[in-house]
Structure 1
């Protein structure tokens, strides 16, 4: 439920009760991933767990939980007798846990996620009925807490399954940034929890305060990036020109980038199309651990750029990381179209995808994953 933290918190802060349906397991082909959530508050639907094909049944489940106060499990899948009424027409199955949002520790994790900070929560999805829906909240660097306590384990017939053991497994999963089901065992006794992890937002560094940068900032915002536009020219680098950016920095780009802590999920897009900026900043970017480094320009510009990088002493291995000319072949020409082209290449590179039309590929459309958005 961390992915819809802002919407859940808005409903809670308005005094409404909230039930949340969260995908705990995906079998076969399905449009959403483990950890995807949909909430219901005051008759309003928050989010989606299937792209539409099981939403009605999920709403019914949320209404039951709001009325009873008891968590419940559901499986939505394809059947020959009832393929479209409550099933996934794509042929997969979703296991879903539906719970009320109420634990103070859980709300604290939601607030951390909404603020873009690290957050984690584990929900009991299999085991004694009395424990279903109980939570263990965990944020990296904070103590673990929640509404699952040692007395609950004993009362449910799991006296030898310690809360410390559960916390250790949950904490390790959150530290790794994974969203997945985990099973904690102690002898013949087991408890299965869905661990949801929220990592701090990756950064998108856009170099060059140009119209392409403004369009890229707008298009990238829904993907969850923290966006910085950097340019050395104050007349161009203004907050008014880039309302979708989280910050606009007026500084020589290579010096700015050298002072940043760049992570392995960050993206650097050099759109300035000016060798005075491009070569120094690319020297910094290609030696960083950034997930993706790309630069705008023609093929002639690309060849000149590669030669200049070699002359600057950048290794062939580092140069091979450069996506240039940046973007996928979509026939893009406008800044807005080019932004889509650039982000398409970023996503394909991140996911190890070909970028080919799905109709030309064999196999499942939806790749197996254990994370809701990955990021």
Structure 2
């Protein structure tokens, strides 16, 4: 399975943790609970350390991470002797002189808050369930407080997807397992395959649709979490999970299929709907949508042509153009995605 970016959502990291717990070894985990602009560690990033000093993930690298790995070794040694280790909250400042927190040893500016604790073999059940929820693209919340890690399987009622609250000695980190970075691609051809690869590498959950079950680019697409074959692209919109978080990209094999796909999504709650095409094609598409009584306001919200303006001729170049536009629009569409000022 491709990485999902934020390591709290990365099943590969939790599988690494599970192998250590199953071997009866504890694991030291650190999550970045909060970060400001310019910080090398981003909210949700996670570093796991085992008693041998092997690691998975990252919380920003450099001397800061080296110091944390050394601290983790000492904490794990103490845990093995006593079976207890407190959850540690540290605010690190990446400057030569720290005004509000500890110096991290980095000088790139910004701040981050790290939350560290030990998982022992008694938590195997929770880790297995976390993996099951991630693999099923199902909701659940990892909760870390003074008592360590627990799993809340109730569907989250509120966002942002990761929150951290601290009052005096009390604190709580809540990290949703359901990835809200999502893209649905209507068209499983070469461009759809290239865009699936790029978006998966950026940590997005990818759903791809096609009307052709036997097209080889769909069969070879190992980057999509969900691959769905429909008889009519107009059916796709109703099958997209978490529509309020999903960017929709229409890039089918022909203009008629593009129109059918757009008719299934353009009236929906999707924050972003884009279609690929030259001016003449887009004129035809807009005309067809008006003939289908789609409101002009909905037509005007389309990203058409999709992608940042650049010379994009190959599927890989087109994918980079589309991905760049999605990233550019992310903070406007989802304000919680923006890091806090330093």
- State the TM bucket, normalised to the shorter chain: 0.7 to 0.9
Tell me which structure has the larger Cα radius of gyration: 1
In the alignment, which residue of structure 2 is the partner of 1:134?
Answer: 148
Shift of 1:262: 5.4
| Count of aligned pairs between the two proteins | 314
Task: Find the aligned partners of 2:294 and 2:216 in 1 and give their Cα distance.
Answer: 28
Q: Which residue of 1 aligns with 2:140?
A: 119
Question: Unaligned stretches of 5+ in structure 2?
Answer: 1-6, 80-84
Whether 2:157 is the aligned partner of 1:175: answer yes
Alignment map for 1:180-191 (pairs within 5 Å): 180-183=163-166, 191=170
- C-alpha distance in structure 2 between counterparts of 1:177 and 1:108, whole Å: 24
Pairing 1:298–2:316 present: no
- CA-CA distance at 1:239 after TM superposition: 4.3
Q: 1:6 aligns with which of 2, 7, 12?
A: 12
Counterpart Cα distance in 1 of 2:180 and 2:286: 31
Which segments of structure 1 move beyond 6 Å, counting only runs of 4 or more? none
Per the alignment, do residues 32 and 107 of structure 1 end up closer, same or farther by CA in structure 2, a change over 3 Å counting? same
Q: Which among 53, 56, 62 is matched to residue 66 of structure 2?
A: 56
Partner of 2:202 in structure 1? 223
- Give the equivalent residue in structure 2 for 1:36: 45
Give the distance between the partners of 2:36 and 2:238, measured in 1 at CA. 44
Query: What displacement does 1:290 show?
Result: 1.5
Matches within 5 A, 1:158-307: 174-178=156-160, 179-183=162-166, 191-200=170-179, 203-236=182-215, 239-245=218-224, 246-258=226-238, 260=240, 263-272=243-252, 274-307=254-287
Unaligned runs of 5+ in 1: 125-131, 142-173, 354-365, 370-375
1:314-333 alignment, distance < 5 Å: 314-333=294-313
Structure 2 CA distance, aligned partners of 1:122 and 1:255? 37
Aligned CA RMSD, in angstroms, stands at: 3.1
Kept in 1, the 8 Å contact 2:14–2:131? The answer is no
